[in-house]
Chains A and B, each alone.
Chain A
Amino acid sequence: MNYSMVRSLILKDWYFQRRAILLALAGGVLSLGVVALGGQAGFTIGLILLVTIMGLISAITVMGNTLGERENQTLAFTMSLPISHLEYTTSKILGNLLIFVPFWLTLVAGCMALIVVAPAIHGLFAFTVIMAVEILVGTCLMIAVALVTESKGWAISAMVTANLAINVVGYLVAHIPGIRNGMWGTAIQWRPAATISLLVEFALIALLLGGAFFIQSRKTDFI
């Protein structure tokens, strides 16, 4: 693996997405400002803003970095560089994730802070962690589908699926006995059901990204 080449490709993609990244950063700072205003309303509005910005940034970067190459016919230029398909795939996955993950980590930290400062909702801790990772799963789904299919239609379908999945997964997780019990309590609890749920989510992430690498390595036509 030529890491220097992967780094060059990631920096190139970031350069072309720099306005979106800067806008998202500004939005992220604004969201945290709203959170810092204090009160339950401030926390809630700030976190909703942050989730919205996260959705937007992942959509913009996936569309621009991954699908834009084919749409703008720059893929031939990129693939004519001294890179292998593995390096191309790595750069696209890492490039997208490295933009998204800081926002995601901020969201997770914000949520944790909200829960820690409000004893009344301590019981939501496990549920919140699982749902935060579910958002990461959704983003990985979008990246993998966009990369493998190189189709705007499929990528949009993946985005819709990821957004709908938040509600479905939220409903299902909230009904797992090990999580449901104590969810509305005032004590932070972490039961085996939460660990299993997290492991399933991380396995899904590994499956999606590993699957993307596998399918890319089996592809015979890159242009």
Chain B
Amino acid sequence: MNDLSVQFHGVSKRYPHFSLENIHLELPTGSIMGFIGANGAGKSTTIRILMGLVHQDAGTVQVLGHAMPANQAAAKLDIGFVSEDMRLYGQATLAWHMDFLRPIYPRWDQSYAESLARRFDLKPQQKIKGLSHGQRVKAALLLALARRPRLLVLDEPTTGLDPVARVEVLSELMAALADEERTILFSSHNTLDVEQISDQITFIDRGRIIDSDDKEAFLDRWRRLRLLLPPDVVLPRLPGVVDVGGSGRLPVLTTNRFEPAMVSVCNDLGATVQAVDTMTLEEIFVANVHSRREQLTA
């Protein structure tokens, strides 16, 4: 049995003003991957390729053991997809959508759909066009979850939601994670949302995957070291340091390969390590992006 739900190998897609370059991505079955990138970084294009909605120019994509886009119909039978720019049929009710999907998906769970409707405070007989943005996202999520998909693909689902709706959507997603066989790919530019539910993180910037690792590994290896330098000491370039900020005698080093030994190295160089700060996922993402962009322009 293939233990990877999603596998991208050397995938490229070129547009006149944007290109996705050499994407390698692996999503183990049962994991929850947060896919983080700025607007226009290539998250949606990657996800559309995953869904077979956009065909790659080069490389191979396997989703739930099916080659994409050739076998997309078989793959999509086991995928629940919600995207920020996806709309349901405005003139139809939520109940119509449920009735439409029920015969299509063999694992459709009507009682779960009804319980989700109650939990999300959605009225099945209400037309979609009468729902607020938050309610529409919840309705789309309901329709994706009630299929009992093996893979849930969420492209910026929380964008534009008010804080209450966002918490409700995220908590329902967390409840859905109780199923260990379900794999989730969650794209967002909101690192706080991603941090709450993901166990794997992938950063994408300007069409390239710039880093991918376990969430805990990210949080463990990224640190900020606040130093105090004696007047006549100049700090050499240290391995694993991706950015040197701060000023003059008070430099702040950002590292993506932190080890306790780094503190001793700094002390040996004459610096006083005043603090070793952990970083939030957002800070790690921003530092990562800046570091990669500087490498590219250097």
Contacts and interface: CB of A to CB of B under 8 A. Distances in A.
Q: Do A and B come from one complex?
A: yes
B257 interface: no
Contacts of B89: 16, 72, 74, 77
Given A80-B51, A83-B76, A220-B57, 14 more contacts: A8-B104, A15-B92, A15-B96, A72-B89, A72-B90, A74-B86, A74-B89, A77-B89, A77-B140, A82-B74, A82-B76, A84-B72, A222-B53, A223-B48
Interface string A189-223: 00000000000000000000000000000001111
A82 B104 contact: yes
Interface residues of A, number: 22
B74 A77 contact: no
Please classify how large the interface on chain B is, using the bins under 10, 10 to 19, 20 to 34, 35 or more.
20 to 34
Interface string B97-124: 0001001110000000000000000000
B79 A80 contact: yes
A145 to B, nearest CB: 22
Contacts of A221: 53-55
A125 to B, nearest CB: 44
A7 B104 CA distance: 11
A77 B73 contact: no
A120 interface: no
Nearest to B96: A15
A82 B90 contact: no
Contacts of B73: 2, 5, 82-84, 87
Given A8-B104, A16-B91, A74-B89, A80 B76 contact: yes
Nearest to B101: A81
A72 B136 CA distance: 14
Contacts of A72: 87, 89-90
B162 interface: no
A130 to B, nearest CB: 40
